[in-house]
Structure formats: structure tokens, C-alpha cells
């Protein structure tokens, strides 16, 4: 499994989410680092994108802490089970992705 748009492309105020901010301050980490750590701890490969060297360093500095299971669960509850970028269950999207491989 690979996470595309781990930060939801910055949409939905993801970096200002109060639950993520509270957890981030508990570990003395940024919201971005908590998001990446939550994915990595679930065995998902992450490919965050940033134009900033400082954020690249921040985004790779996620291997010196671990979220406890109660925090993992709190983050899981934020999920809305909605597609916000593209719907991978729609025929049009599936065909688009299949054509990329041709």
C-alpha cells in the first residue's frame, strides 16, 4: 500500500486540525510528522511532496518516535470515508489509471 497525497494536498485545513495539533504537541512533533508516522505505523509507504528543503528534512524525521495505540485510534476517527481528490471506485478514474500504464 502506498499513500498518495498523505497531506490531502493540504486541503480541508489538514494542518490546522485540532486533534492532530494536540497529538503533535504531545510528541513535540509537527502535524505533518504525525500524519506520516500514522501511515508508516500502519505499514503504508509515504511519498510526501514539498518544495521546501526544511520540510523535506521535517518529513523524513519521523523515525525517532512512535504513536501509542490510543493516538492511532484518535487519528483514524478523523477520517470521513470520503473521496476528496479522485474516486478510485469510479469507472472513469479506473480507466484513466489503466491508460497511464500503456
Which residues here bind ligand NAP, judged by CB under 6 A? 4-10, 15, 30, 32, 47-52, 55, 58-59, 85
In terms of CB distance, is 3 or 69 closer to ligand NAP?
Answer: 3
> In the bound complex, what is the minimum distance in angstroms from residue 71's beta carbon to ligand NAP?
19
Which backbone phi and psi does 48 adopt, to 5 degrees? Answer: -65, 145
Which backbone phi and psi does 46 adopt, to 5 degrees? Answer: -115, 145
Which of 77, 96, 78, 74 shows the shortest CA–CA distance to 87? 96
> In the bound complex, what is the minimum distance in angstroms from residue 46's beta carbon to ligand NAP?
8
Q: How far apart are CA 58 and CA 64, in angstroms?
A: 12
In terms of CB distance, is 51 or 70 closer to ligand NAP?
Answer: 51
In terms of CB distance, is 4 or 65 closer to ligand NAP?
Answer: 4
Amino acid at each position: 500500500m502506498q499513500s498518495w497525497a498523505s497531506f490531502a494536498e493540504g486541503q480541508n485545513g489538514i494542518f490546522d486540525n485540532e486533534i492532530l495539533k494536540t497529538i503533535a504537541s504531545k510528541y513535540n512533533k509537527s502535524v505533518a510528522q504525525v500524519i506520516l508516522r500514522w501511515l508508516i505505523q500502519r505499514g503504508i509507504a509515504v511519498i510526501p511532496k514539498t518544495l521546501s528543503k526544511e520540510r523535506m528534512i521535517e518529513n523524513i524525521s519521523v523515525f525517532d518516535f512512535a504513536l501509542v495505540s490510543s493516538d492511532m485510534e484518535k487519528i483514524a476517527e478523523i477520517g470521513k470515508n470520503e473521496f476528496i481528490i479522485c474516486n478510485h471506485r469510479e469507472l472513469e478514474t479506473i480507466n484513466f489509471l489503466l491508460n497511464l500504464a500503456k
